A and B are shown apart, each in its own frame.
Chain A
Amino acid sequence: MSFPIGQTEVVDTFAEAFPMRYTRVVITAATPRWAHEAARSMTGFATSVIGCKCEAAIERVLEPGETPDGRPGVSVLLFAMDREGVGKRIVERVGQSVMTCPTTACFDGLPGAEKTAPLGATLRYFADGFQSSKVIAGQRFWRIPVMEGEFLVAEKVGVEKGVGGGNVIVLGEDDERALAAAEAAVDAIRGDGVALPFPGGIVRSGSKVGARTSSQMPASTNHQFAPTLRAQVDDSLLPEGIGSVFEIVIDGVSEEAVREAMRRGLHAAAAAGAAQLSAANFGGGLGPFHFPLSELQDPP
């Protein structure tokens, strides 16, 4: 079963997603370059909660007028399976990648959230007793003396419920055309409320749960979409003429954010010449959030 979006066939299936917890931090720096460097470092090796304990990505670039200290900034979303996981990962990553980065400061991007996780409250111990704090407009910040000068960090960050694992699968006649369509989808998807945790927003090694040959592997290659294996496996999902497949994994701050991100991605990939579009699921038994592609036929 399928339906068209433009000239592209869309498989009548659904993406399956699951609840996660997330936080947002706002990283600022003296220049856009250093804000971006910190954000890239912080979101590195955060592609999959299975292998990296969290998923994180740059949400968007912030103009100076949008940040608490009036400097150029970047907002970052970080997802984990529970609040404790978010708390551990955010401390590790801000501590190693933002505090270490020249000129940066780090702010809570979810002020007013009911649930929080400590950030500066933990990182302050790096100051070895020389830390100090200021309460500014009702929020406490920690000042950590460092070799460059001073690192300013919010005492805590908000933690909210989010949705992880939304996805779009982009199929093309060859790797070049499939990648071009996937890139177009990424460009359309990126924005407020969504994180694309894989490199450049695209994963070329989509996975299935578990592995046939090793109990140590929590996940293994999605052989159904691997062109190499089309003639080798019985359950290949690749139609004739498909030479390459990419997946775009979408974590969002809400079900609606993921749904609309998938809609933008589907229509952009179709316009960019995707041969076929699909989505990954696990039969519906893994996650409570289902996103039928048939409900995304209307353009954004």
Chain B
Amino acid sequence: MTLTLQLRAEPPAPVDASVLTAEVSARDVLRCGRERLQVGDLFTVTGSVGDGLILDGDLRRFDGIGRGLADGEVVVHGDVGDWAGADMSGGLLAIHGSAGNRLGAAAPGARAGMRGGEIVVTGDAGEEAGAGLRRGLVAIGGRAGPGAGLRMLAGTVIALGGFVAEAGMGNRRGSLVSGASLTPLPTYAFAARMRLPALGLQLRRIRAVGLPVADELLAARWERWSGDGLELNRGELLIYDGESKHSGPSKLGLASSLREHRGGEAA
């Protein structure tokens, strides 16, 4: 069974939407700026309580949608505000629209953020998507804003439209996947251009839950860059920029790398 909340009118101030779970009722209270409103004041509530929640409308003023989700599904038709999916530990948050800042990210000062589950966003995401990610999957159909995967511990952040800038700073063991060309941070080092079976599975998974993943991505070889070199250097940045283009180090660059490597050995 599924509960559906249809937005009736844009709220007058930002709303803490973390109470919007599959068990929510029209009488539950939401914080809207300094006000307290009932869910029924903002939404038309239909359906019955079960293991799923559908939110419908322009929810850009709603922060923390899906926050702390542990199981079940929250599906949103429309854009959402900041902190969507923060502190998730399981379940699926599917956003058919764009997300604000700090999608699935750790709270300020917290060492780890999301610990499991899946977030799928068909549009774009704002700054610091997946920051502090501990485990789980954040998949963005469009572009991810600056600072995606900031200090992530593990897990995966996929941006089919690519990352804007500074992706994976402080990344320890996490995977960042860029479906578009990208210049990695200088603390990342090129490893190889290769097919990655785990990535193939992840791409199939996000396709199954609603992201349009092109067949060419499934069959592609991806550049693998290791980093962040300032941390464990156990993380990775995977980049697809088209099979037809040659990428990775040029022959000159490869020779240069080999010289550096040999020099390092001699030292």
Interface residues, chain A, with chain B CB atoms under 8 Å away: 68-70, 105, 132, 134-137, 141, 143, 149-152
Contact = CB atoms under 8 A, between A and B. Distances in A.
Interface in B154-198: 156, 173, 175, 192, 194-198
Interface in B202-221: 202, 204-205, 208, 218
Nearest to B196: A150
A141 B197 CA distance: 10
26 contacts: A69-B197, A69-B200, A69-B201, A69-B204, A70-B200, A70-B204, A70-B218, A132-B173, A132-B234, A134-B175, A134-B198, A134-B201, A134-B202, A135-B116, A135-B136, A136-B198, A136-B202, A137-B205, A143-B198, A149-B192, A149-B196, A150-B194, A150-B198, A151-B197, A152-B197, A152-B198
B135 interface: yes
Contacts of A135: 116, 135-136
A134 B137 CA distance: 9
A151 to B, nearest CB: 8
Q: Is the interface of A mostly helix, strand, loop or mixed?
A: strand
A259 B260 CA distance: 67
B46 to A, nearest CB: 30
Interface of B: 116, 135-137, 156, 173, 175, 192, 194-198, 200-202, 204-205, 208, 218, 234
Given A134-B198, A151-B197, 10 more contacts: A69-B201, A70-B204, A105-B197, A135-B116, A136-B201, A137-B205, A137-B208, A149-B194, A149-B196, A150-B196
Contacts of B218: 70
A123 to B, nearest CB: 14
Contact of B201 (A132, A141, A151): A141
Contacts of B197: 69, 105, 143, 150-152
A91 B208 CA distance: 30
Contacts of B205: 136-137
Contact of A134 (B156, B192, B208): B156
Contacts of A70: 200, 204, 218
Nearest to B195: A149
Contacts of B234: 132
Nearest to A68: B201
Contacts of A151: 197
B87 to A, nearest CB: 17
A133 B76 CA distance: 29
Nearest to A153: B197
A141 B204 CA distance: 15
A152 B197 CA distance: 6
B264 to A, nearest CB: 19
A139 to B, nearest CB: 9
A152 B201 contact: yes
A233 B31 CA distance: 93
A151 B175 CA distance: 17
Contacts of A68: 201, 204
A132 B173 CA distance: 8
A149 B222 CA distance: 12
Contacts of B192: 149
8 A-B pairs with least C-beta separation:
A152-B197, A105-B197, A149-B194, A136-B201, A134-B198, A143-B198, A137-B205, A152-B198
Nearest to B174: A132
